[in-house]
Structure 1
Amino acid sequence: MPIKSAVSVLPLCLLLFFAASLPAHAAVQHAPVTSAFLKAERIAVPGKLVKAARIVDAAGEHILVVSLRTGSSSAGNATPGDKEELHELFASLYVHKANRWAREWLIQDENDCPIVDSSANFFPKYITVTDLDQNGIAEVTVPYKYFCGGGIDSSTLKVIMRQGAQKFAARGQTQLGGEPGMAYGGELVFDPSLSLKENAVFKAHLQFIRDKVYIEH
């Protein structure tokens, strides 16, 4: 029984029954949900909603919420009246337990950049839900970048994967300039744990996502 986008209007009890009936290694299911659904379920969204999804796996039913909040810098030299100097990035996974949604994990980052140019963005198209190791537990991958500088420079780029308590990351810089010998940036460093044989499939996925987003156009 696949989950379709219209599932967000179904009674929650039916969804929980479906989640409980999944065998241990059933395919992970996921579908988008709306801000109205999050409000009805009393799941807070800090800032502007970027992406939200319901995920059903062998561990139960989950809600993924990704959002971005901007505001004034917390630094003492912030520009008076400037509301776009602090960028806060959030990705949370909630699990349904005891008739409520409890946060299972949080990815949080910020770009506090007073005076000079700044920005922060997720890549919604490449926020993925997978089961690469086929253990029935969803992996969530969240790529984003942020910039703080006074000229044309590369941005800090991170691709973070969570599978329950496990966390893996590819970190580096975006790349600017496409002409031979003219490109700069593009550095990439993987977490040491991704060098382990059992994590090879995760490393390949992080590399794939990073390669889709690291070039600045």
Structure 2
Amino acid sequence: MRTILSVTLLFISAWVNGQIKTQPMASTNLPKNIRYQGKPVQLIKYQDNTGSYLAITTQTGTQPQKGDDEFKQAHLYGYVYQLKDGGSPVLLWQLHDMVTDCNLDMVANFIPGSLTIIDLDKNGKAEVWVAYRLSCRGDVSPSELKIIMHEGTTKYAKRGIGKIKVGNAIQHDGGVITSDEFKKAPVSFKVYAGKLWDKYVLETM
């Protein structure tokens, strides 16, 4: 009986330790020594078996392009900081993507709510997922769609062209995956990335 109880307690302990604790955070509550560019979009504090972290997505919106009044630019940033008790946060990784040299309609936006922290492979290390669109267009054409995942400093990405939905009509163009690093990823990552692609591929105009 004691053996069964001990095994059960060990199983429960391992299960609890493998959970990812997440907490949304307001930008007004950020520590002063956290550095970022752009305007905060989504902030999540999380803890896994390797420590405590803060994930941030930001975007600048459309800006004038320095040195050229004709063109504009927009930038996206993603950050993960490791939080140290009594010490300064350490930048674990940073994402930076952009649209530049654009004098048409510009899209450079994180998909709302796409910053997600999970542990699909149940190894106690969090996976940080984001998805965003980029385009410079003068007509009804689809944006680039990118789905990015980091587990620690390991990165995978799925990139392609989305599809446009206008009213109830879906345009024929797009819906093409041009690069898929998840082909070499664990199965759980590959399947989840595919689900996110299906979820986000349609861009409504």
- The C-alpha deviation readout for 1:27-76, integer Å capped at 9, x for no partner, is 011110111111x34212311110001010011000111100132124x5
Shift of residue 26, structure 1, vs aligned partner: 2.2
Stretches of structure 2 lacking an aligned partner (at least 5 in a row): 1-13
State the alpha-carbon separation in 1 of the partners of residues 200 and 160 from structure 2: 12
Tell me how far 1:143 sits from its aligned partner: 0.1
Counterpart of 2:25?
33
Report the residue type matching 1:49 in the other structure.
Answer: P
Does the 8 A contact of 1:30 with 1:53 survive in 2?
Answer: yes
TM-score, reference length from structure 2: 0.83
Cα RMSD over matched residues? Answer: 2.4
SS at match of 1:216: strand
Which of 184, 195, 202 is the equivalent residue of 1:215?
202
Partner of 2:136: 148
- Are the equivalent residues in 1 in contact too, given 2:60–2:74 (CA < 8 A)? yes
Whole-Å separation in 2 of the counterparts to 1:179 and 1:111: 27
Q: After the TM superposition, which residues 184-195 of structure 1 pair with which residues of structure 2 at under 5 Å, given as runs?
A: 184-192=173-181, 194-195=182-183
Kept after mapping to 1: 8 A contact 2:107/2:143: no
- Residue 175 of structure 2 aligns with an amino acid whose one-letter code is G
Amino acid at match of 2:121: D
User: Is this contact kept in 2: 1:25–1:134, CA < 8 A?
Assistant: no
Any gaps of 5 or more consecutive residues in structure 1?
1-21
**1:95 is paired with a residue of what secondary structure?**
strand
Amino acid at match of 1:52: L
Equivalent-residue separation in structure 1 for 2:82 and 2:108 (angstroms): 27
Superposed CA deviations along residues 85-125 of structure 1, whole A, max 9, x for unmatched, are 21110010000236110100011101113322212111132
CA contact (8 A) 2:57 2:115 kept: no
Post-superposition CA distance 1:157-201 (Å, at most 9, x none): 100000011101110011025658x52111114434x224x6111
Cα distance in 2, alignment partners of residues 65 and 211 from structure 1: 24
User: Percent of counterpart pairs with the same letter?
Assistant: 27
Q: 43, 59, 63: which is aligned to 2:54? A: 63
| Whole-angstrom CA distance in 1 between matches of 2:198 and 2:69 | 35
CA contact (8 A) 2:144 2:161 kept: yes
1:186 corresponds to which letter in structure 2?
A: G
Which segments of structure 1 move beyond 4 Å, counting only runs of 4 or more?
A: 22-25, 177-180
Match of 2:110 in 1: 122
Residue of structure 1 in register with 2:6 after alignment? none
Structure with more of its chain in strand, by fraction: 2
Q: Structure 1 pair 42/23, CA: closer, same or farther in 2 (3 Å)?
A: farther
Letter in 1 for 2:172: A
